[in-house]
Structure 1
Amino acid sequence: MFGHQIRLCRLAGFDVTLDLSWIFIALLVTWTLATGYFPQVYPGLASPAYWSMGIVGAAGLFLSIILHELSHSLVARRFDIPIKGITLFIFGGVAHMEKEPPTARSELLMAIAGPIASLLLAVFFYMAASIAHAAGLGETVTGVAWYLALINLMVAVFNMVPAFPLDGGRVYRAWLWGRSGDLHEATRRASSAGQTFGLILIALGVVSLFTGNLIGGLWWGLIGLFLYSASRGSYAQLQAHVLLGSEPVSRFMTPNPVTVPAGISLRELVEEYVYGSFHEAFPVVEGERLVGLAGVAELRKTDRAEWEKLRVFDIMQPLSKKIAISPDENAETALRLMAESGNSRLLVVKDGVLLGIVALRDIMRLMELKQSLG
C-alpha cells in the first residue's frame, strides 16, 4: 500500500511515519481551505489570512488523524495486539496491526476508540471556537476552530459506516463474530459490505464527473477504489492467516539448497549457477559460513560489462533478519517478511546453520492446495 516513508516522531511508544503520498493531500487540503472553504464561509479577509488559516487547518486535521489512530493503537496495546506504528498517507491514516484481535470484544473496543476520539476532538474544538468567539479573537482563530470541530465530526460519522475495514465495518464484524463465533465468516460478510460501499462511492464519483464536479468526482472515485481494494485485501489477509498460520516453514522449504562462494565473479554466478540450476536466488557462503543471499534480482541492478570484475559479495544482501527466517516460524510470518523486505525468497536458518530456502511461489502453491482441499 505504501511507498517511501519518513519517520516523524515517536508518540506514546508508537512510531509515526509519513508516506510521501501524504504531501499531495496536504497541499490539496491547504489549497482547498485557503481558496475555497474559508473565503466562502468568511468573506472579506485578506489573502494571507486565508492561507494561514488553510495551513493551520490542514495541520490541525492531520494532528486529529494521528490522535484518532493513536486511540486505536492504545486500545490494541491493552489487548496485547502488536502495532508497528502509525502512517499518514493520501487517504488519511492507518495503525499497522500485526495480527487480528483475539476476541470480538477486543475488536469492538479497538474499533470504537477512533470515532470516540474524533467526537471528543470535535467537542474540544467546538468549545475552543465558542470561547474564541466570546473573547473576540476574530474569524481567523474561530474559523479554524469551527472547521476542525466540523471535520472531526465528519471523520467520526464517516468511519462508523459499516464497511470493513472502516471502524464501523470492524464494529459490524465484531457483532457478527460475537453472534456466530466464526471470525472467518464474519470477515467475509463485513468485507463484502466494504466492497459494496466502495463500489457505491465509485459510482457516486462517476455521476459527479458527468455533472461537472471534476474534483469531487475524482476524489469520491479514488476513496471508493481504495476502500474496495482494502476490503478485499483485508479478507485475503485473514484467509492467509487461516490457511498458513499453522504451517511451519520447515514443512515446505527446499532443503539443502545450492550455495555459491562469495568470491566468484558475477559471470561465474550466471554461467555456472543461474543457467546451471535454473534457480533465481542462492545462499552465499564463505567457506562453511553463511554470509548472505544473491541472485537474479541483484544481477539485474548491475551493468553486464562489470560482471567479470564484480564478485558475488559485492552485490549480495548480507545475512540479516530481512532475508532469514527460523524453520519453526509459520508460513504467514514468512509471507509478511517477504512483503516487508521485498524479497521473494528467504533463507531458512537455525543457530547460524543454513537448513533450506523458501520461495514466495512455494507459499502461494501451498495456499492454492489448501483452498482446493477446502
Structure 2
Amino acid sequence: MRASINLGRIGGVPVGLNLSVVVIVAILVIGLGFGRFPIEYPGLPLAVYLLAAAVTALLFLASLLAHELAHALVARHYGIGVSGITLWLLGGVAQLTGEARTPRADLRIAAVGPATSLAAAAVFGLVAWLLAAAGAAPLLVGVFAYLGIVNVLLALFNLIPAAPLDGGRVLRAVLWARWGDRVRAAITAANAGRTFGYALIVLGFLLVFTGPGFQGLWLALIGWFLVNAASAEEQQARLGAALHGIRVGDVMSRSPVTAAPGETVAGLINRVVMRERLSTYPLVDEFGAFRGLVTLNRIRQVPTELRPLTLLADIACPPADVPAAHPDDGLVDLMQQMSGHPDGRAVVFDDEGRLIGLVTPSDITRALQTADLRAPYTAPHGADLTVLGPEDHRTEAVRRSERR
C-alpha cells in the first residue's frame, strides 16, 4: 500500500496517508455527525456534531498510527528495517523489510500492536471519566468514550488468530516455537486467515440480502482483503523457503553493458538498445563510479523528438535509490530491498566497490525455476530463515519477468 501524502517521520519512520483513508474519515464524520451523536446528545447545532465527529475521526487515525508505530519500533529493536507506515482504507500498514529471526521476536512484534490499542483505549477511557467528573459537556465525554470502545474493538479484532491480522502473527510465532519450522507455521496461519476471510465474505453477503446492506458490504470488503493478504503471505513463505541459501552471486547477470551519464538517449538506442536483447543499463563515469540506472521503461517515457537532446543522467534512477548488494548476500534479503522499487532491479558491487553485476526480474524468475535443481541442503527450520514480509508486494519483481 503506497502513501499518497507524506506526513514526515516519527521516530525515524516515514509516515504517510493513502488517499483511500478519506473514506474512513467520511464514514466516521457522516455516521457520527448525522447519526450517533445527534441521537445520543440531542439539542445541539449540526455544526457542533460535525466538529465533534471530525475530531473523533482524527483521534481515531492517531490511534491507528500509534498501533502501527508500535509494530515498527519493536521491529527496529530486533534489527528489522521499516520502510514506512501508511494509513489507508482498512486501517494501517507498517511496511517491514524483513522478518523476525526468532519466535519470541515475532511474538513481541505482533502483540505490541493490540497492546498499544488497549493502552489507547485506557487513556481515552480515563479522559472520558475525568471529563465526566469535571462536569464537561456530555458530547465531549461521549467523544472520548467512543474512542475508548473503538480501540478495544480494534485490539480484539486484531487478536483473531488469522493472518495477516496480528493474532495470525501471534499464532505463527506460537506454532513456530512449537514446531521449529517457520514456513509451516506461516502457511498454517495464512490458511486460518483465508478461512476467516471467506467467512466474513459469506456473512457480509448474508447481511446485504437480509437488511443492513452497508455493514454487509464493509464486512465483505474486509474479508476479501484478508483472503488476498493471507494468500500472498503463504506465497511469500513458500518463496522464501524456495530461495533460502541462494546467494546474489549465484543468480546475478555478470559484466553488464554500461553507458556513460553524458550519452544521449538517442545514442544509447542506436548503439545498444536496437542491437542487444537488454533492458537495463547502469551508468558508469570515466572513473568507474556508478552514477545511476536506466531501463527501457525510462527510455520509452522520453518523447521521440527529445531523445537526441536528453542525457541518460537526466532520466536515470539516482544511485542512492537503486538497491545494491554484494555477491555473498542472500537473494531473499536483496529481494526485500527491491520490493516497491519502481525499476525492479538491483546492482551488485565487489569488495572494492566496482560494479560487477545486475539482478533483474528474469534473474529471479530463473532462480525460482531452477531452485529444485540445485544441490539439496537441509530445509531451513527456526531462526535461520528470513522470509518475505507481508506489507509490500514482494513477489511483484518476480511477476514482472522480462528479458534483460
- Per the normalisation by structure 1, the TM-score is 0.90
Q: CA distance change for structure 1 residues 83 and 347 in 2, over 3 Å: closer, same or farther?
A: closer
Tell which deviates more after alignment, 192-201 or 202-211: 202-211
1:58-117 CA-partner distances (Å, limit 9, x unpaired)? 122112112222333343344344334433222112223332222222222332222222
- Report the Cα distance in structure 1 between the residues aligned to 2:357 and 2:327, rounded to whole angstroms: 9
| 2:220 alignment counterpart | 221
Q: Describe the SS at the equivalent of 1:203.
A: helix
The answer to whether the 8 Å contact 1:6/1:19 transfers is: no
| 1:48 alignment counterpart | 47
Q: CA distance change for structure 1 residues 324 and 215 in 2, over 3 Å: closer, same or farther?
A: same
| 1:76 alignment counterpart | 75
Please tell me whether residue 306 in structure 1 is matched to residue 306 in structure 2. Answer: yes
In the TM superposition, residue 206 of structure 1 has moved relative to its aligned partner by 2.3
Please tell me whether residue 343 in structure 1 is matched to residue 343 in structure 2. Answer: yes
| 1:359 alignment counterpart | 360
Please tell me whether residue 91 in structure 1 is matched to residue 90 in structure 2. Answer: yes
| 1:296 alignment counterpart | 296
Gaps (5+ residues) in structure 2? 377-404
The higher-RCO structure (CA 8 Å, 6+ apart) is 2
1:326-357 CA-partner distances (Å, limit 9, x unpaired)? 32322123322322321122222233422122
Q: CA distance change for structure 1 residues 299 and 144 in 2, over 3 Å: closer, same or farther?
A: same
The answer to whether the 8 Å contact 2:187/2:237 transfers is: no
The answer to whether the 8 Å contact 1:266/1:307 transfers is: yes
Matches within 5 A, 1:245-284: 245-284=244-283
| 1:113 alignment counterpart | 112
Q: Describe the SS at the equivalent of 2:320.
A: coil
Q: Describe the SS at the equivalent of 1:340.
A: coil
Matches within 5 A, 1:1-374: 1-11=1-11, 13-287=12-286, 289=288, 290-350=290-350, 351-370=352-371
- Report the Cα distance in structure 1 between the residues aligned to 2:314 and 2:92, rounded to whole angstroms: 39
Q: Which runs of 4+ in 1 moved over 4 A?
A: 371-374
Q: CA distance change for structure 1 residues 282 and 173 in 2, over 3 Å: closer, same or farther?
A: same
1:237-275 CA-partner distances (Å, limit 9, x unpaired)? 333333334222111111112223444432332233112
In the TM superposition, residue 8 of structure 1 has moved relative to its aligned partner by 3.7
- Per the normalisation by structure 2, the TM-score is 0.84
1:202-232 CA-partner distances (Å, limit 9, x unpaired)? 2222223333534323322221122122212
Q: Describe the SS at the equivalent of 2:101.
A: coil
- Report the Cα distance in structure 2 between the residues aligned to 1:304 and 1:184, rounded to whole angstroms: 49
The answer to whether the 8 Å contact 2:323/2:334 transfers is: no
Q: CA distance change for structure 1 residues 133 and 232 in 2, over 3 Å: closer, same or farther?
A: same
For 1:319, the aligned partner's letter is P
The answer to whether the 8 Å contact 1:207/1:217 transfers is: yes
In the TM superposition, residue 25 of structure 1 has moved relative to its aligned partner by 1.9
- Report the Cα distance in structure 1 between the residues aligned to 2:173 and 2:323, rounded to whole angstroms: 36
The answer to whether the 8 Å contact 1:162/1:170 transfers is: yes
In the TM superposition, residue 44 of structure 1 has moved relative to its aligned partner by 3.0
Q: CA distance change for structure 1 residues 76 and 32 in 2, over 3 Å: closer, same or farther?
A: same
The answer to whether the 8 Å contact 1:208/1:216 transfers is: yes
Q: CA distance change for structure 1 residues 86 and 283 in 2, over 3 Å: closer, same or farther?
A: closer
- Report the Cα distance in structure 1 between the residues aligned to 2:128 and 2:162, rounded to whole angstroms: 32
The answer to whether the 8 Å contact 2:103/2:177 transfers is: yes
- Report the Cα distance in structure 1 between the residues aligned to 2:344 and 2:73, rounded to whole angstroms: 33
- Report the Cα distance in structure 1 between the residues aligned to 2:324 and 2:102, rounded to whole angstroms: 32
Q: CA RMSD in A?
A: 2.4
- Report the Cα distance in structure 1 between the residues aligned to 2:269 and 2:322, rounded to whole angstroms: 24
Tell which deviates more after alignment, 263-272 or 137-146: 263-272
In the TM superposition, residue 192 of structure 1 has moved relative to its aligned partner by 0.4
The answer to whether the 8 Å contact 1:49/1:140 transfers is: no
In the TM superposition, residue 5 of structure 1 has moved relative to its aligned partner by 4.2
Q: Describe the SS at the equivalent of 2:270.
A: helix
- Report the Cα distance in structure 1 between the residues aligned to 2:281 and 2:212, rounded to whole angstroms: 54
- Report the Cα distance in structure 2 between the residues aligned to 1:371 and 1:203, rounded to whole angstroms: 39
Tell which deviates more after alignment, 55-64 or 121-130: 121-130
The answer to whether the 8 Å contact 1:322/1:337 transfers is: no
- Report the Cα distance in structure 1 between the residues aligned to 2:258 and 2:249, rounded to whole angstroms: 18
Tell which deviates more after alignment, 218-227 or 310-319: 310-319
- Report the Cα distance in structure 2 between the residues aligned to 1:297 and 1:314, rounded to whole angstroms: 14
Tell which deviates more after alignment, 84-93 or 174-183: 84-93
Q: CA distance change for structure 1 residues 48 and 331 in 2, over 3 Å: closer, same or farther?
A: same
Name the % identity: 35
For 1:307, the aligned partner's letter is R
Aligned residues: 373
Tell which deviates more after alignment, 256-265 or 296-305: 256-265
Tell which deviates more after alignment, 273-282 or 346-355: 346-355
For 1:334, the aligned partner's letter is L
Gaps (5+ residues) in structure 1? none
The answer to whether the 8 Å contact 2:97/2:337 transfers is: no
Tell which deviates more after alignment, 291-300 or 161-170: 291-300
Which structure carries more strand by proportion? 1
The answer to whether the 8 Å contact 1:323/1:343 transfers is: no
